[in-house]
């Protein structure tokens, strides 16, 4: 069920950027990821926190850590983004081979300007991605992400976004390599990335 409480015209060429929500149930989508039942990933075209259009093709040649969430998320998102940031630090020079991406599921509030305030708190290399509701919806569907807007009170505009919180590891050609469940430590993330790193010249 798509819940569109209000049409909101942002800076995305007049495209409404409210929270759309996934077309399938949480259980179905969690199952698809956890039991590897469906392909994960695919093309996206979104806007980064500097206002630049970014597609999946821009990141070919690098490993991707892809995380979907929203900046108003009280605990899960910041915890996982912190682990991603720490993992990048622990990778040292090898971090150059890895690009972390944070895709918002709440484009209504997470504008490029807002993401620009948020992503540097976790890592200087973290790229925040937003866009129109339809573009976000397409990206979330491709990664089998569950999300749904939940209003706190009927009388206010205040809401949260329920969402699945897997961290996806994607390969250099955009292929899916695996996922980390929410709450994965930085050490575990590094451990799963290491086998995919190019050895490069030994120093
Ligand atoms: Ni969250």
Where do the domains of the chain lie, and which CATH numbers do they carry? Answer: 2-196 (3.40.30.10)
Question: How far from chain centre, in Å, is Cα 115?
Answer: 12
For position 201, what pLDDT does the model report?
Answer: 55
Q: Which residues surround ligand 1, an ion (CB under 5 A)?
A: 69, 73, 76-77
Mean pLDDT of the chain: 89
Predicted local confidence at residue 200, as pLDDT: 64
Percent of the chain with pLDDT over 70: 88
In whole angstroms, what is the distance from residue 170 CA to residue 176 CA?
A: 5
Closest CA to 45 of 34, 58, 35: 58
Q: How far is the CA of 70 from the centre of ligand 1 (A)?
A: 6
Query: pLDDT-based confidence at 11, cuts 50/70/90?
Result: very low
184 CA from centroid of ligand 1 (Å): 14
pLDDT, residue 4, reads 37
Confidence (pLDDT) at 70: 96
At 42 the pLDDT is: 93
200 vs 16, residue with greater confidence = 200
How large is the angle between the packed helices 186-193 and 76-91, nearest 10 degrees? Answer: 50
CA distance 173 to 102: 19
The CA 77 to ligand 1 mean position distance, Å, reads 4
Distance 199 CA to ligand 1 centre (A): 34
pLDDT tens digits, residue range 17-31? Answer: 678 899 999 999 999
Which pLDDT value is given to residue 75? 83
Is the pLDDT assigned to residue 12 strictly greater than 70?
Answer: no
pTM of the full structure: 0.88
Q: Which residue has the tokens 């749904």?
A: 148
Take residue 21 and report the two structure tokens written for it.
């929500």
Residue-wise pLDDT for 107-164, tens only, equals 999 999 999 999 999 999 999 999 999 999 999 999 999 999 998 877 667 899 999 9
pLDDT greater than 80 at residue 7? no
Neighbours of 198 (CB within 10 A): 9
DSSP-based helix, strand, coil % in the chain, nearest 5: 35, 25, 45
Considering only CA atoms, which of 18, 22, 19 is closest in space to residue 7? 18
Cα-to-centroid distance, 90 and ligand 1 (Å): 23
User: Distance between CA atoms of 22 and 137, rounded to whole angstroms?
Assistant: 7
Averaged pLDDT, 186-201: 90
Sign of CA dihedral 72, 87, 196, 188: negative
Place of tokens 């399938």: 24
């Amino acid at each position: 069920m798509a819940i569109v409480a209000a049409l909101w015209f942002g800076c995305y060429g007049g495209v409404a950027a409210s929270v759309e929500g996934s077309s399938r149930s949480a259980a179905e989508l969690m199952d698809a990821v956890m039991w590897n039942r469906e392909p994960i990933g695919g093309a996206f075209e979104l806007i980064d926190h500097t206002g630049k259009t970014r597609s999946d093709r821009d990141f070919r040649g690098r490993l991707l850590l892809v995380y979907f969430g929203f900046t108003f998320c009280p605990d899960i998102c910041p915890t996982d983004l912190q682990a991603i940031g720490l993992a990048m630090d622990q990778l040292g020079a090898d971090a150059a081979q890895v690009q972390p991406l944070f895709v918002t599921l709440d484009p209504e509030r997470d504008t490029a300007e807002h993401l620009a305030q948020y992503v540097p708190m976790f890592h200087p290399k973290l790229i925040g991605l937003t866009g129109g509701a339809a573009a976000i919806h397409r990206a979330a569907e491709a990664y089998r992400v569950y999300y749904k807007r939940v209003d706190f009170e009927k009388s206010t505009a205040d809401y949260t976004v329920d969402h699945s919180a897997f961290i996806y590891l994607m390969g250099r050609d955009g292929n899916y390599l695996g996922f980390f469940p929410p709450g994965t430590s930085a050490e575990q993330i590094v451990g799963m990335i290491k086998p995919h790193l190019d050895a490069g010249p030994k120093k």
